Structure 1
Amino acid sequence: MHFVPPIGISDFRDLREAGAGYVDKTAFISRVLAEPAQVLLFPRPRRFGKTLNLSALSYFLEKTTEDLSHLFHGLDVWSDPAARARFQQHPVLFVSFKDIKASSYDLTFRGVRGVLQAVFRRHRYLLEEAALKADEAREFERLLNAEAPEEECWRSLRNLSGYLARYHQQKVVILIDEYDTPIQAGFLHGFLDDVVQLFRNMFSAGLKDNTDLFKGVLTGVLRVSRESLFSGLNNLIVHSILGEQHAASFGFTEPEVAAITGADAQPERLDELRAWYDGYLFGGRVIYNPWSILNYIHTGKVMPYWVNTSSNDLIYDLLVRRGMGLSHDMERLLSGGAIEARIDEGLVLRDLDQRADAVWSFLLLAGYLKPSGLRVTMGVVEASLSVPNLEVMLAFKDVFQIWLSRGLTDRQHVEALVRSVLRGDAEQLEALLERLLVTMMSFQDAAGREPEKLYHGFILGLLVALEGRYEVRSNRESGFGRADVLVRPKQPGQPGAVLELKVPSRRRGETPEQALDAAARQIRERGYAAELRAAGASPVHEIAVAFDGKRVWARTLEA
């Protein structure tokens, strides 16, 4: 049977009644119901099926007079007697914050209140059937009209679950999708404390010590428990991407991909899909990006689908504006290598401003890195991290291309910078680097405080701009030392370059000219060009560069 990909359909009922293809993940429902914990949190990357799973759970559990059994016939959950006993037995509150990405707290609060308004509107029959007391009805109407003050929004889920439990004589299920999207926006735009307080009060009221609660299930990208969002919530269990129990509940396994793409009969096609969309490891299991696989089936082409579905603003902010990705570790990742890092699943977003290593945990949880070789020592989790596939590699490279283009105005200036290196044109290189520094150091606070990060960003920009034709490395062994930048052609007979970068020592009272002299001596005395000549590069340009604030000096050594 031909698999029809449900592009853009995240409502389970719409998907099933449209006859679209569905990879059966309803065993997720059975596992959720069998969990002893009352509240469950599932952090997963975006577009990995979180909303569809919550939608299926909602349709399965929600108490209604309409028989929806046709949606589940033939699926895994329908053969589970324990789960069937809960079919359509509970009132359900389904809340999604996935679209709240505002740039201010005021707009965020209005967005949250609008989401709550929609939830209350679904249950306005409580008001119409006079099922509420007078004071309850007044507060219900304020939420229904999006006029409720903040403190009434805090207790909205708690109160509505109480009304529903009383009316239906059955405990309530609360489903919260993409709970951390507004929190990430708060971090990005500087109102983190306010948005954390809003959600902490709302979640604490709705999920902690709520006697009317049967189950609470939350999804998001991050687990930000140490932000005190779930403070004191001792009925919460977190199933992260490192855990085994729900490893296959989100995303596609390789057998599932092979079956729906027909690649089980075409090994070469499966190899191509592996290279582009595989590489994720959830609980040690190989998982494919479902959004990209579905789009591949729809178009028949391998392309970067997942990375183009939303803005990379936060990734750009972390890697470039805050300077966290301007490092040797990022260079290693972009070159297809791995880095060793400590993993903090309970990520504190504030740590991203204080701990450079926190960015790797964020990128792992967001789906931009994969873990291997997990090690736990005294409760500390460490892993080897690498870029999972070609699609994500392109996302990283796009970030640094954008960064370099912003500093040099347009693509032509980027190409001019690359040409100046490959021609050994010190005068042009000096002018273009100075333009880059003037633009980027005024734009980029973090790198302005640590200019060496910006200089390393230049290396990463070169690495991306020269991809395919050259290998660009920094601090690489060559001759009798490590060159700051080595540009090595992949084909003999092409030009190569070695650059040594210096910042004048203020402690020693060093001038830029003296720093330039020191860089030139180091290139020659340590034989940095040896590897390039051995690789057949011709000609080889040896370039000394000195940086001092927004000023640059460059000199090409004579052959």
Structure 2
Amino acid sequence: MPFIPALGQSDFRELRRAGAGYVDKTPFLGQLLADPAQVVLFPRPRRFGKTLNLSTLAYFLEKRDEDLSPLFQDLAVWNDPAAREHFQRYPVLFLTFKDIKTLSYETTLDAIRTEVQRLYSQHQHLLKSDALRPDERRHYEHMLLGEISEEDCRGSLRELSDYLARHHGQKVAILIDEYDTPIQSGYLNGFFDEVTLFFRNFFSAALKDNPSLFKGALTGVLRVARENLFSGLNNVIVSSILSDRRYATSFGFTEAEVASVLAQARPDGVSAARPAPLPDPTLPRVEEVRAWYNGYRFGGEVIYNPWSILNCVASGALRPYWVNTASTELLQHLIARRGLGLSSETEALLRGEPVEARIDENIVLRDLDQQPEALWSFLLFSGYLTATAVREELGEVTASLAIPNLEVRVAYRDLFRSWLRRGLPERRHAEALLRALLGGDAPSLEALLERLLVTVMSYQDPAGREPEKLYHGFILGLLVQLEGDYDVRSNRESGLGRADLLVRPRAPGRPGVVLELKVPQRGETPEQALLAAARQVRDRRYAVELVAAGAAPVHELAAVFDGKRAWVKLVDEVLSGAKDGHLQG
């Protein structure tokens, strides 16, 4: 039977009844049910099957009149006697926050109220139960009507789990999907403290010392424990993508699963592991699929993004499917404020080289703007980087980080392009900026860079201790547009020192660029900073490498940034002006 992808279908029962292709992830159920931890948090990147796994767990556990055994009888979990003991035995509370991406705390709270009201509606048979007291029935009716205060929301899961446990004589499973989505919105939109305080109380009431709780499972992208979100919840165990081998293959597809999907999807039955006698026009070869979508490491296992694999099977085309659906708002924010980290490290990543970074699994959202390890940790856990090697010494984790695959590399390119379009919305302006750079047209480059700075960057962005690094990353991001025809290098050894940026043509006879960046020091004028940059370019002979590579002509440029102002001059012009007395060193 051919494998037919059910794109966007995260309801397990609907997927199975439709006869859609399903990669059997039900061993996850047995592992979780055997886990002594009462509550487990699964941080994984977006579109790695988290919602479907929780849906599968909910249908397996939930006590209901309908017999759901046909959904599971041909799956691995049905051959697990210990897991079978839990089949359709418990009341289940399953809620998702994946769509709560609002601009204010008030609208976030309204969305949570709607989700809580939906849960209460699913179990309104409790109104006829002798397990509820009259005052509890009245409160339940208010909840059904949407008359839900903020305090009601905070305690809603605890109260409903108590009602269900008393009615059924059985403890309750609480499943929460994408728990951190509203928290990220709070960070981006200025209500972080309020939303964090709410969820601290919400989770504590439901998951800590709840006598009605059988098992809890949460999914999300980040672990934000240091925000005191799970303070006191010593029963929450985190399944780390870095070290937890137990659940390493529970989310995402393994190499063997991808090969099986491709083999089932091929109409001629040709194995994806070996070439067909004739080219198969419907699906890419496994080597191409590997290059585009492989690269993730969870618990030491090679893992593929399932969303991309299923879309590739459905369309027969290699495209950046995951990137087009993932939320990039937080990443866009970080690019604009940080230049995506130190530019030399960004450059190494874009060249396909790993970078070493200290990783903190407890993401501190407040630190993303200032702390390099927080930024690298965010990029790792959100799927924009992968850990090719992990070392731990004295409790400190260090990882070798790399861009996982072609799909994510395209993501970086497209993010920089979209960022550039925000500042220069007309395509002709972006193209003019690159023409000015390669043509050594300093006045035009100055005007376009300043226009971009005014549009994209805030005055606070360059205010750190090393503002030059932000501008360095800012320029490097723009130069991603040149990949293919040029090698772009930052802090590259050339001549007698390291140039800030070198743009070297891959073929002789094309122009090359040396660009030295400065931020005025205390008491220094922009003109003085330009002179210092120009002298550095000439004295340290930064253009030597470009001349040796056959670049012609070679443009030597000095650029100075101060807040939202930019000054760009040709080195010859600056040095000539200084010689004539127009500039003072």
- Structure 1 length-normalised TM: 0.95
1:520-539 → structure 2 map (5 Å cutoff): 520-539=534-553
Match of 1:512 in 2: 526
Question: Equivalents in 1 of 2:562, 2:192: separation in Å?
Answer: 35
Question: Equivalents in 2 of 1:290, 1:31: separation in Å?
Answer: 21
Question: Equivalents in 2 of 1:14, 1:248: separation in Å?
Answer: 23
Secondary structure of 1:346's partner?
coil
1:334-345 → structure 2 map (5 Å cutoff): 334-345=350-361
Give the AA of the match of 2:150.
E
* Bigger Cα displacement from structure 2, 401-410 vs 143-152: 401-410
* Bigger Cα displacement from structure 2, 224-233 vs 47-56: 224-233
Match of 1:361 in 2: 377
Correspondent of 1:390 among 383, 406, 410 = 406
1:158–1:511 Cα change, 3 Å: closer
Match of 2:66 in 1: 66
1:386–1:231 Cα change, 3 Å: same
Question: Equivalents in 1 of 2:538, 2:61: separation in Å?
Answer: 73
Secondary structure of 2:146's partner?
coil
Q: CA deviation at 1:326?
A: 6.0
Question: Equivalents in 1 of 2:545, 2:418: separation in Å?
Answer: 31
Secondary structure of 2:53's partner?
helix
1:486-497 → structure 2 map (5 Å cutoff): 486-497=502-513
Q: CA deviation at 1:162?
A: 1.0
Correspondent of 2:487 among 437, 456, 471 = 471
Question: Equivalents in 2 of 1:160, 1:86: separation in Å?
Answer: 21
Query: Are 1:424 and 2:425 counterparts?
Result: no
Q: CA deviation at 1:514?
A: 3.2
Secondary structure of 1:557's partner?
helix
1:18-47 Cα shifts (integer Å, max 9, x gaps): 000000000000001100111111111111
Give the AA of the match of 1:447.
P
Q: CA deviation at 1:324?
A: 4.9
1:454-469 → structure 2 map (5 Å cutoff): 454-469=470-485
Secondary structure of 1:252's partner?
coil
Match of 2:583 in 1: none
Q: CA RMSD in A?
A: 1.9
1:514–1:47 Cα change, 3 Å: same
Answer yes or no: is the 8 Å Cα contact 2:510–2:551 preserved in 1: yes
Question: Equivalents in 2 of 1:93, 1:458: separation in Å?
Answer: 46
Give the AA of the match of 1:461.
G
Q: Which runs of 5+ in 2 are unaligned?
A: 264-271, 277-283, 577-585
Answer yes or no: is the 8 Å Cα contact 2:498–2:542 preserved in 1: yes
Q: CA deviation at 1:53?
A: 0.6
- Structure 2 length-normalised TM: 0.91
1:227-306 → structure 2 map (5 Å cutoff): 227-242=227-242, 243-262=244-263, 263-266=272-275, 269-306=285-322
1:75-94 → structure 2 map (5 Å cutoff): 75-94=75-94
Q: CA deviation at 1:367?
A: 0.7
Match of 2:329 in 1: 313
Q: Which runs of 5+ in 1 are unaligned?
A: none
Q: CA deviation at 1:271?
A: 1.4
Match of 1:446 in 2: 461
1:419-443 Cα shifts (integer Å, max 9, x gaps): 11211122222222232333334x4
Query: Are 1:39 and 2:39 counterparts?
Result: yes
1:503–1:347 Cα change, 3 Å: closer
Question: Equivalents in 2 of 1:334, 1:79: separation in Å?
Answer: 46
Q: Percent identity?
A: 63
Answer yes or no: is the 8 Å Cα contact 2:339–2:477 preserved in 1: no
* Bigger Cα displacement from structure 2, 404-413 vs 308-317: 404-413
Match of 1:498 in 2: 514
Secondary structure of 1:8's partner?
coil
Match of 2:281 in 1: none
* Bigger Cα displacement from structure 2, 228-237 vs 215-224: 228-237
Answer yes or no: is the 8 Å Cα contact 1:30–1:80 preserved in 2: yes
Match of 1:98 in 2: 98
Answer yes or no: is the 8 Å Cα contact 1:404–1:458 preserved in 2: no
1:436-469 Cα shifts (integer Å, max 9, x gaps): 333334x463236665245224422332211111
Q: Figure out how many residues of one structure are paired with residues of the other and give that number.
A: 556
Question: Equivalents in 2 of 1:10, 1:352: separation in Å?
Answer: 31
Runs of 4+ in 1 over 4 A off after TM superposition: 448-451
Answer yes or no: is the 8 Å Cα contact 1:40–1:217 preserved in 2: yes
Secondary structure of 2:273's partner?
helix
Answer yes or no: is the 8 Å Cα contact 1:424–1:556 preserved in 2: no
Question: Equivalents in 1 of 2:477, 2:52: separation in Å?
Answer: 38
Give the AA of the match of 2:274.
A
Q: CA deviation at 1:80?
A: 0.5
